[in-house]
Amino acid sequence: MSVSFKKPYLVVPRLIEQPSWGGDYILKSKGLDQSDGLVGKRVGQSYEFFGQSRLVVENAEDDLAYEWGSAMSAEAQLVGNFEHTVTLPALIAMNPDAVLGKGIVKKYGTTMPLLIKLNQALGNSWQLHIKPADEKPEVKARVLANPWITAAEAGGYMAKPETWYYFENGKATLGLKPGINPAVYRVCCERIEAEVAKVAAEVKSNKTTYDAAQTHLVEYIAMENPWQYVNVVTIHAGQMVDLSRGGVHHSWEADLQNFPLGNCLYEIQVDRMDAVSTTRSFDQGKLKSDGSFRPISIVEYFANLDSSPQSNDLHQLIQWPKPIRRDADHDPGGVYEIARTPYYVLLLVKLTKHFSTYMPQECRDKFSHVFVRRGPVGVSASDVSLELPEGTSYLMPAEMDGYMFGMTHSTDAEVLIAYLPD
């Protein structure tokens, strides 16, 4: 198996089954919805790039490969032809500077700090991540030694800066409503959690049925109405949500009448496990049929909640990508900045007849990740010229030393480019 660092590497997607809140949006976007073993499956996430990604070294025609996994496990089932694949850590180990770039290795080391996902989600828990400045060095050291430990085992939480880019209209809660009293909001969450625990115990002891318990919790939560304390917002296709600073409440909500797909989006984040990075105030009253339920962290959520007006300003949290290069005012073609943070940069490139090629100069001496949102799209470099299909992800090694996108078949295309800042 010959390895070159001067070509794109197709990333094998890791599909995460979510029977309760996933769907077929991700599978359809990748042309996998009619594939053997995937028909009727509900996928909530696709890991497009992360520290354990598997990459295709030599791609034979009509090869189909993906990983099938669970959000609860680091392991995944390999499906398809994996004869000519290599893991990202193994590729980096061959030549870190050629894969990542000398500057990136010097600043970040050889462990990939990014996680890039596609999501289709609704009815999720109400969450908050701590601010990066509030991370404790001893907690970080324990997590680096064992990424799978919990916050209790680590002695605290790690930050998880993240940004969402919406592919379709969706519904979320984001930040606190102006003028609310966080103490009153907290009491509401505590009452709901106490009611969930009480009903769960009744299900376990057979004092009530699971269906009756679910009906009661829906009614009780509607009466408490925790949504009165947070901003309930429509996020439009093409908008981004910036949660990189931490301390801000957020969730993906369910509204099947108005948003039947739920929330379909691209997410870039610092790679942190939920168990050591996510605090929760409310879990939508979810209860398993055996009466068990997920414990949440109300105390920690409110201890790290930033209730200042500026941090909860929707005009700051939700924005449209900023155009940084346009060649024609009447044409959408160009380069747009979705996010530029201390942790990652995310660009959107729209190729049209008036903006038909683009070379990302800022990626010439470092790796980048490319996702083809709409395609196909052509890519060329010194040693290679390829057509990248819609719905696929690629690692562009640093040793490519630049690459150029171009339209194919006179078809408009959209590409997302992610990279690490110097």
Q: What is the pLDDT of residues 141-154, one digit of tens each?
A: 999 888 889 999 99
User: pLDDT over 70 for what percent of the chain?
Assistant: 97
Q: Has residue 72 got a pLDDT over 70? A: no
For 390-414, the pLDDT digits (tens) are 999 999 999 998 999 999 887 899 9
pLDDT of residue 239: 98
- Tokens 């500057």, residue located: 103
Q: Decide: residue 399, CB within 10 A, 0-12 exposed, 13-18 middle, 19+ buried.
A: buried
- At 63, the pLDDT band (50, 70, 90 cuts) reads low
Beta strands 14-17 and 65-69, pairing class: parallel
Q: Has residue 94 got a pLDDT over 70? A: yes
140 to 45, 159, 277, 300, 393: CA distances (angstroms): 26, 10, 11, 17, 30
Mean pLDDT for 111-115 is 95
Mean pLDDT for 294-303 is 96
Q: Has residue 71 got a pLDDT over 70? A: no
Beta strands 54-56 and 9-12, pairing class: antiparallel
pLDDT of residue 393: 96
Q: Has residue 73 got a pLDDT over 80? A: no
pLDDT of residue 382: 83
Mean pLDDT for 158-181 is 97
At residue 266, φ and ψ (nearest 5 deg) are -100, 135
pTM above 0.85, yes or no: yes
pLDDT of residue 35: 84
User: pLDDT over 90 for what percent of the chain?
Assistant: 80
At residue 318, φ and ψ (nearest 5 deg) are -115, 120
Mean pLDDT for 273-298 is 94
Q: Has residue 331 got a pLDDT over 90? A: no
pLDDT of residue 411: 85
DSSP code of residue 353: T
Q: All domains of the chain, ordered by start, with CATH? A: 9-113+320-419 (2.60.120.10), 114-311 (2.60.120)
Q: Has residue 50 got a pLDDT over 90? A: yes
pLDDT of residue 1: 59
Beta partners for residue 118, in sequence order: 46, 266
Residues 6+ apart with CB under 8 A from 259: 122, 168, 169, 170, 171
Mean pLDDT for 149-163 is 95
Q: Has residue 3 got a pLDDT over 90? A: no
For 344-362, the pLDDT digits (tens) are 999 999 999 989 999 999 9
pLDDT of residue 211: 95
Closest CA to 247 of 155, 358, 159, 369: 159
pLDDT of residue 74: 66
- Tokens 């109300």, residue located: 298
- At 330, the pLDDT band (50, 70, 90 cuts) reads confident
| Mean pLDDT of the residues in the chain | 93
